[in-house]
A and B are shown apart, each in its own frame.
Chain A
C-alpha cells in the first residue's frame, strides 16, 4: 500500500525538539529524526527504545576472554610447555598472572571492535553503504524530522495544521509504494 513520507526540516535542534514535543502531545508518531549530532533529550520525546549495545559489548568481551584463554592454554601450555623467563608453564593456573594482560587486551579488542561493527551495521552506516538520510544537509547544519502518514491517527490536513507554526524551514512530501 502506498504511504506518504513527510520530511520537515529545521535549522535548530531546540526548535525541532519543541516541535516534536508539540506533535507528540497531539498524538503524532515521529518515525525518525536525522541530525548532524546527537540531540540531547530527544530520545524520550520521540520514544526511542533504550539501546542494548552495552549487553552486546559485554557478550563480545566475554567471547574475547574465552578465545584468549583457549588460545593461550593451547599455545603456551598444552601444545608445548613454554618456558618464559625461567617460569615453565606446567599448568595454566600456576602462571595465571602472565596470561592476564593478554586476556585483558583481547577482551577489550573484541568488545570494542564488536561494538563498533554492530553499531555501524545496525545504523546501516558501514563504509560504502548507501546513505539513509533524506537530505545531505542533515550531515551539516540541518535537522530533519520524518513522519509517516500511515502511522498517524489524524489526517494529512490536520497534520499540516499542527506543523504550521513550528518554525520549520522546508517541508517535503514523498509518496512511496
Chain B
C-alpha cells in the first residue's frame, strides 16, 4: 500500500468536540444535581469520594493498560502493531492527567482521614482494631504516599521516555532507538510486574482492610488491560471511519479483537479463581468480602461477571466477528461498562457497603470523567503524525495479513 500522506495528523472534528463537550456538560449538570439532591444524606461525603476514586482509578487504569501494552510490544519486538502504535501511545498519554486526578482524589481522602474509604488512615479506628494494627507497618499514611508517588514517578518517567524516543524515531530513523525501546520496555515490565500488584493492594484492596487475596493484583491488572484494549480498538474504528490510517487493515483489527477476547478470559479466570477458592475454603474473614458483594450487590455483581465473560466469549468467538467493526464496537462498549461496574463494586462495596447507591451522582461523575477522557484522548491524537514513519517494522505491519 502506498503511503498517501505519511505525516498525516489527526484533526478533531467539530462533531467529536461537541460530543465530548456535551458529555462534560451533561455529566457536570447531573453531578451538581446529584450533589444538591444528596446533600445532607448520611455518608454523603464518603459517597462523593467513593465516586471520585472509582472514576479516577478506572480512567487512570485505561491509560496505564495502554502504557503496559506499549511496553509489552517493545519488549517482544512485535511487528504487527506498528501502524496502531500512535493510537496506543495516545491512550497511554492520558496517564499524566489520570495521575493528576487520582493523586488529587487520594490526597483529598488522606486529608479527610480516609473518608471511611481507607479506614486504616484513621488513628482512632486503628487503635481499637488489632488486625489493622498488625498491618500498620505497611498500611500507614507515610508509606502509602511513598509508594503511590513511586508508582506515579516510574510510570511517568517511562511514558515520557517512550514518547520522546517515538517522536525522535520519526525524524532520525535507524534501529538504535528500537533496541533502546526494547531494553526500556523490558525494564518497565519488571517494575510493572511488582507495581501492578502492590498498587492494586494499596488503592483498592486496602478499602476492605481486614481482607486480603494474593491474586487481587492480577485480577485488577486483567481488568485494566482489557479496558485499555477496548478503548484502543474503539479509537481505531473511529479513526478509520473518518478515513484516517488506511494502512490499518482487517488483520490488525482482528488482532486487537483477539486480545480483547483473550484478556476477557484471563479476567474471568482470575475472578473465578479468587471466588471459588474463597468459597470452598469458607473461612470467615475471607468470605466476608464476598458475602457483602453477593448479598447486597447480587444482580450487579453476577451481572457484571456475565457481561464481562459470557458476552465476549459467545460474540467474539468466531473469526468473522473479530473482523467486524460494528460487532467489536458493540461488544467493546458493553464490556467497558462491565469493567466500570467491576471497579464500582470493588470500591463502593468496601467503602459504603449496604449504603452504596447507583444514582444520578454516579452517572453524572462517570459522564464527566468520560467526557474529559475523550477530550484528552482526541487532543493527544492530534499531537503527532498517526503513522510512525520510521518504525523499523512499519513495512511488516502494513503488510500484516493472515
Contact = CB atoms under 8 A, between A and B. Distances in A.
B279 interface: yes
Chain B facing A: main interface SS? helix
A54 B326 CA distance: 23
Contacts of A85: 280, 282
19 contacts: A41-B401, A54-B318, A54-B319, A58-B317, A85-B280, A85-B282, A86-B282, A87-B280, A87-B282, A97-B272, A97-B275, A97-B276, A97-B279, A97-B280, A98-B276, A98-B280, A100-B272, A100-B276, A101-B276
A-B interface, 4 closest residue pairs, ranked by CB to CB distance from nearest: A97-B276, A97-B279, A85-B280, A98-B280
Nearest to B402: A40
A41 B400 CA distance: 12
Interface in B267-299: 272, 275-276, 279-280, 282
A106 to B, nearest CB: 16
Interface residues of B, number: 10
A39 B401 CA distance: 13
Interface of A: 41, 54, 58, 85-87, 97-98, 100-101
Contacts of A86: 282
Contacts of A97: 272, 275-276, 279-280
Nearest to B279: A97
A101 B317 CA distance: 20
Contacts of A41: 401
Most buried by B among A41, A54, A87, A97: A97
Nearest to A41: B401
Nearest to B318: A54
Contacts of B282: 85-87
A85 B283 CA distance: 12
A148 B276 CA distance: 59
Nearest to B273: A101
Contacts of B317: 58
Interface in B323-362: none
A144 B328 CA distance: 41
Nearest to B276: A97
A87 B280 CA distance: 8
Contacts of B279: 97
Contacts of B272: 97, 100
Given A58-B317, A97-B272, A100-B276, 8 more contacts: A41-B401, A54-B319, A97-B275, A97-B276, A97-B279, A97-B280, A98-B276, A101-B276
